[in-house]
Structure 1
C-alpha cells in the first residue's frame, strides 16, 4: 500500500459516520435535563489540599469551581452507601442569593 492509498483509506474512515452509542446519547440527555435556563456553568479549578480530614483518602474529595467572580468549594464524602455534599460560595452571594445542587440520581 502506498502513502496515497493510506491517505485515501484514512479519509474514508474519517468520513464514515458510526452511530452514537446508546449510553452516550442517554448520558447527554440526562445532563441536558439538569440545565437551568440562564444559569452560568462553573469551570473546575484546582482545589487547595485538604487539611485535617478524618475520612479515608478514597472516601473524601474536595472540589473547586469558578464562574463570574465566584468560587464554589465543595467537599464530597462517601459513607455507608450515601454521599454527603457540603460547600460554600466565595464571596458570600448576599441576601437573595440562591445555590442549587442538581444530581442525575436522587434517592
Structure 2
C-alpha cells in the first residue's frame, strides 16, 4: 500500500492513520525562520530549484534515486550493518550490483 493511498483513503485504518498524522504534525504557523519571513511562504522566497519534470511519474524516479544516494552516503559513514542499508530497495537485482560497485570503490 502506498503512502498516497494511506493519506487519501477512506477505509477505517486509513482514516485512523490520517487522524494520527493530524494530531502529531505541527501546523505551519508553529514554524519560525531565521530571516523572520513567514515559513513556507510562496511569495517571500526565491525558487532555487524549480519543478521541471515533464511527466509527473518521473518524480518517483527522482525519489528512488535520492533514496539510493542517501543510502550510499550513509553506508560510507556507518561501519556496522552496512548491508542493511542496501536491503529492501525497490530495484531488487540492482542491490547486488550496487554492493559490488561499492566494494570496488572502497565505500563498503
TM-score normalised by length of structure 1:
0.27
Relative to its length, the structure with more strand (as a share) is: 1
TM-score normalised by length of structure 2:
0.27
More contact order relative to length (CA 8 Å, sep ≥ 6)? 1
Higher Cα radius of gyration: 1
Relative to its length, the structure with more helix (as a share) is: 2
